[in-house]
Structure 1
Amino acid sequence: MIRIMIVDDMPIFLEYLRGCIDWNSYGFEICCEAHDGKEALDKIEEFYPDVVLTDITMPYINGLELAERITRDYPAISVILITGNNEFEYARKAVKLGVCDYIVKPFEKEELILSLLKLQDNIGKVVESTDNQKDEHSEELRALIYAGLHDDSGAIELEKKVFGDNDAKGGYLLALIRFDAKAFAGKETDSREQLINWENLIARMLADKLDIDGKFSIFHDFENNIVTLMRFDNEADIYSYKGYEFADIIQIVKNQLGIGSAIALSPAQTMLDVKKAYERALGFLAEKEYGQLWDIRSSKDNISYSSLDAIIRLNKDIETLQADDAEKALNDMWEKLNRNKDAADTTISITDMNLFTSAISILMTNIISSGFSIDKIYGEGFLPEKFMADATSSEEMKDNVIFLYRKRIEFEKGKKQSKAYDIANAARLYIEENYADSNLAISDISEKLCVNQTYLRKMFKSEMNMTLTEYITQYRMQKAKHLLSSSDEKLQTIAEKVGYNDVSYFSNVFKKYYGGSPRSMSKESR
């Protein structure tokens, strides 16, 4: 859990902060509270939080002074300022001095969540320490949007399973949220993994935020786009619903993370119509810019996405390691698109680009969810967007996509996949061999084991019943305790031997772990 101290001189605001978020579900815990900066400094030594969330205007020591002292004396602690509009400029200046972020009152709770999650490796730590809260019916709903239903009996059965009854008098409204992967183009190759983690957390935020007269279910498609299927109690509500929650999500995600997104609202009268609603939404968003909520409830255009069958086939080919069939599926998709195109025309059309972008997105999502490292499959620093952009014709682009699919399938065929225990045990051994390295990072372990960080964190937590971060700390503390009780070495030397360059930070971690200072357990004190 990520430990948070909240600081404010107004009890009512402290109460609001305690109750506005289900902290534990996002991997946080409020470890302590303070009513002014002086009290906060006293409690830091006792609780040593990961994050200090503080107001600016307070007696004795104000938030700016508190932030300055924390960033100077406790560099491992992150600080977020909560500020009013009249204090806005102070907050901006504080960021230049080392404060991690600031939030302006009044703020949406989602802004606060994202602000906390984007600090350091918090998004990774949350994935590591919380269960992946997927809808229990996600597989069936994913099959619904791709393959559809063929009769009323199947629709009734699925409706009962997902919503608990088959009382769909009002009908359905499907919302599809697509994020702009280009926001991460040109960045490190684990950025897609990071984007998927953000998408999963945003889906959870949306589930907390959504409030309709009816029921809803949230899941992801093969590209990890967020799909929300809402069933309204009254038909009129489908067309009167404004979608404010979705519009808020677009704005908050853009402001806090710099990720563009677009949302399409598409109606379906019954479960049998949901596949068509998804097709219309996906086809519509494929041609639109990011940053808006598109309402296609009254659209007369017959917008559809014609390659859903091929997408199912491609996904199955990856899972069953059928490289030849994946190549045939991609060739079939390409030929179908270019059937009415002049053979001499080799230019890359928007349709070509959208099709191949989706194929790449499906492939990268599958690689990450399977636990593999994109770098290890395609080479250090590989960026799929750049690889595709280098194509000079639609034929070459198609060949590039085929190459990427083949490379991924051949990689798995040539590699005996480790079981979860083997991966977790290998990670444990790596930590025990390298714990003295102050720069030891989870990225080092994932690179050594050829798995991505998200998968590694989950497997380790599942097998060892603790997070990687917790194990690194535990092992270092055990080694430190042994050195303290068996040698006469200086505290600074012992700290460095177990991976801590900052003796003050080491002392605080030790005290938090054992409940006593390092000196109280040293050989000299006995």
Structure 2
Amino acid sequence: MNKIMIVDDMPIFLEYLRGCIDWNAYGFEICCEAHDGREALQKMEEYLPDVVLTDITMPYLNGLELSEKIIKDYPDTAVVLITGNNEFEYARKAVKIGVCDYIVKPFEKEELILSLLKLQDNIGKAVENSLRDDYVLTDELKALIYAGISDSEHSNEIEEKIFGWGSGAGYLLGLVKFDGDINNNSSREELMNWERLIAKMLEDKLDIDGEVKIFNDFENNIIILMRFNRASDISNFKGYEFTDIIDVVKNQLGFDITIVLSRADELKGVKKAYERALGTVMVKGHGKLIDLREESEPPVFTSLDAIFRLNKDIENLLSDDVENVINTMWQHIREAHPKEDGHTITDMNIISSALSVLMTNIINSGFSIEKIYGDGFSPEHFFSGSIGSDEMKDKVIYLFKKRIEFEKDKKKSKSRDVALSAKEYIEQNYINSELSVADISEVLCVNQTYLRKMFKSEMNMTLSEYITQVRMQEAKRLITATDEKLSLIAEKVGYSDVSYFSNVFKKYYGNSPRSMSKE
């Protein structure tokens, strides 16, 4: 967990910060509180928080003065200022000192969460520490939107399994699509982690008279299925929760997200509602809420059956069937929409959907996109210059087959093999003060999210905790067995700042390095 110290001279605001967020759900814990800057400094050495969340106007030592001292003496601790003062001069001073972020009251709690998760590697740590791997009933929910329901008896059975006993008065489906940069492995993986966090925020934020289920489709869009107890509530639902999320994500992360709402009067209509939402998000603008509740005709879109089958073919390593599915899908689209030479929106929709399925599968499988397709691979660059629809289709087939061949040729490593390899790499490279999870994942040819999960599962500790453990054990050995200076020992175990090393050592062992030194 990332440790947070909150500092404010107003008890009511400390209480608000403590209770307004489910901190553990996002990988954080409040390790201590302070009522002024002087008390905060006294607690820094004892608790060594990862983040200090502080007000500006406080007695004895104000927030700017506190921030300056923390940044100087504890360089690995991030500082976020929260204040009711929106004057430019305060913001200018905060930036000059090196404060990570500056949040003005009043603020949405989602704004604060995203601000904290942006710091250093907090998004990766949050996924590593706390977020569950998947939502319950994911297979049933995916089958609902891709395969649909055949009859009323089947509908009742599925509804009871997903929502429990009873029936609702209607459904509202929300589709959330991120319009972020996904041209390389790291940005795609980071985007998927943000999507998981946003899904969690929506789960916490949505409050309706009914039930809410949240999951991801095969393109990793967030799907929110809401069952309302009263039909009138479906029409009266304003969607403010969604517009708030759109604004906060844009302001904090710089991402545009589009959210489409589509209505289904009964469960067997959910598949059609999903088709309408997915088709709409492909052809209408970005960064806004699109409401289809009063619209009847869906935009044309590719076959959901084909998307479902493509995902299964990748999982089962069926190259030939992948080619057949893509050829058939392309033929059906071309017959339905004959055109002259050139590329249409329909071509782009097919490519976008197929690539989203492919790239999401690669990341979820723990592989590196660049290891499969080469350094600097970019889908946009790969498809640029394609002449005609057939060449684009052949390139899509090539990418799918290349991914399947990669897994067939690769000697599969079990989770313990990955964890042991990471452990060995850390033990050989802990002296490097810049050692990071990104370095380890690159050497092992797995993505960071997969590496974090496998290591924690096998070693019962996070990668960061193990790096600290190795460094502290070697530091203790050097301190007790040699006469070397503390600054040299700190350098030998991967710390460039001897003061920070001493603080970490005391936190780990309960005693200062000098108290353990060889007599």
TM-score normalised according to structure 1 size? 0.96
Amino acid in the other structure paired with 1:6: I
Give, in whole Å, the separation in 2 of the partners of 1:152 and 1:45.
64
Give, in whole Å, the separation in 1 of the partners of 2:388 and 2:185.
25
Aligned pair 1:363/2:362, yes or no?
no
SS of 2:335's partner is: coil
Aligned pair 1:289/2:285, yes or no?
yes
From 499, 509, 523, the equivalent of 2:518 is: 523
**Which structure 2 residues correspond to residues 468-487 of structure 1 after superposition, within 5 A?**
468-487=463-482
Amino acid in the other structure paired with 1:174: L
Q: Deviations over 1:290-334 (max 9, x none)?
A: 111111000133335341011011101111111121122112222
Distance 1:340 1:46, change over 3 A: closer
Aligned pair 1:40/2:40, yes or no?
yes
Q: Deviations over 1:125-169 (max 9, x none)?
A: 11111242532111110111001111112211121122111322x
**Which structure 2 residues correspond to residues 388-399 of structure 1 after superposition, within 5 A?**
388-399=383-394
Amino acid in the other structure paired with 1:415: K
Q: Deviations over 1:86-138 (max 9, x none)?
A: 44541244124311111111011111110000101000111111242532111
Amino acid in the other structure paired with 2:7: V
From 232, 247, 252, the equivalent of 1:251 is: 247
**Which residue is equivalent to 1:15?**
15
**Which residue is equivalent to 2:273?**
277
Contact 1:438 / 1:501 at 8 angstroms: preserved in 2? Answer: yes
SS of 1:181's partner is: coil
SS of 2:315's partner is: helix
Contact 2:6 / 2:54 at 8 angstroms: preserved in 1? Answer: yes
Aligned pair 1:312/2:311, yes or no?
no
Amino acid in the other structure paired with 2:33: E
**Cα offset for 1:393?**
3.2
Give, in whole Å, the separation in 2 of the partners of 1:78 and 1:520.
29
Q: Deviations over 1:225-259 (max 9, x none)?
A: 01010000101111111111111111111111111
Give, in whole Å, the separation in 1 of the partners of 2:2 and 2:154.
44
Question: Percentage identity across aligned positions?
Answer: 66
**Which residue is equivalent to 2:63?**
63
**Cα offset for 1:38?**
1.4
Give, in whole Å, the separation in 2 of the partners of 1:307 and 1:98.
51
Contact 1:56 / 1:62 at 8 angstroms: preserved in 2? Answer: yes
Give, in whole Å, the separation in 2 of the partners of 1:492 and 1:174.
59
Give, in whole Å, the separation in 2 of the partners of 1:301 and 1:331.
27
Contact 2:301 / 2:346 at 8 angstroms: preserved in 1? Answer: no
Give, in whole Å, the separation in 1 of the partners of 2:349 and 2:92.
40
**Which residue is equivalent to 2:257?**
261
Amino acid in the other structure paired with 1:295: D
**Cα offset for 1:391?**
2.7
**Which residue is equivalent to 1:489?**
484
**Which structure 2 residues correspond to residues 71-470 of structure 1 after superposition, within 5 A?**
71-132=71-132, 134-168=134-168, 170-182=169-181, 184-185=182-183, 189-339=185-335, 345-470=340-465
Amino acid in the other structure paired with 2:292: I
**Cα offset for 1:72?**
2.2
Contact 2:171 / 2:225 at 8 angstroms: preserved in 1? Answer: yes
SS of 1:339's partner is: helix
Amino acid in the other structure paired with 2:108: E
Q: Deviations over 1:256-283 (max 9, x none)?
A: 1111011111111111111001001101
Distance 1:507 1:36, change over 3 A: same
Give, in whole Å, the separation in 1 of the partners of 2:93 and 2:145.
49
**Cα offset for 1:385?**
2.7
Distance 1:294 1:58, change over 3 A: same
Distance 1:82 1:354, change over 3 A: same
From 483, 487, 498, the equivalent of 1:503 is: 498
SS of 1:54's partner is: strand
Contact 1:189 / 1:381 at 8 angstroms: preserved in 2? Answer: no
Contact 2:275 / 2:298 at 8 angstroms: preserved in 1? Answer: no
CA RMSD of aligned residues (A): 1.5
SS of 2:174's partner is: strand
Give, in whole Å, the separation in 1 of the partners of 2:39 and 2:118.
27
Contact 2:5 / 2:33 at 8 angstroms: preserved in 1? Answer: yes
Contact 1:264 / 1:281 at 8 angstroms: preserved in 2? Answer: yes
Distance 1:369 1:32, change over 3 A: same
After superposing the two structures, state which structure 1 stretch, 114-123 or 380-389, moved more.
Answer: 380-389
Q: Deviations over 1:389-419 (max 9, x none)?
A: 3434333222221111111100000012111
Distance 1:158 1:300, change over 3 A: closer
TM-score normalised according to structure 2 size? 0.97
SS of 1:523's partner is: coil
Contact 1:83 / 1:91 at 8 angstroms: preserved in 2? Answer: no
**Cα offset for 1:380?**
1.5
Give, in whole Å, the separation in 2 of the partners of 1:167 and 1:298.
23
Give, in whole Å, the separation in 2 of the partners of 1:519 and 1:6.
30
SS of 1:427's partner is: helix
Q: Deviations over 1:444-487 (max 9, x none)?
A: 21112111110010011111111011111111111111111111
Give, in whole Å, the separation in 1 of the partners of 2:133 and 2:96.
37
Give, in whole Å, the separation in 2 of the partners of 1:92 and 1:513.
36
Give, in whole Å, the separation in 2 of the partners of 1:197 and 1:86.
31
Give, in whole Å, the separation in 2 of the partners of 1:17 and 1:88.
25
**Which residue is equivalent to 2:507?**
512
SS of 2:185's partner is: coil
Unaligned runs of 5+ in 1: none
Distance 1:144 1:505, change over 3 A: same
SS of 1:68's partner is: helix
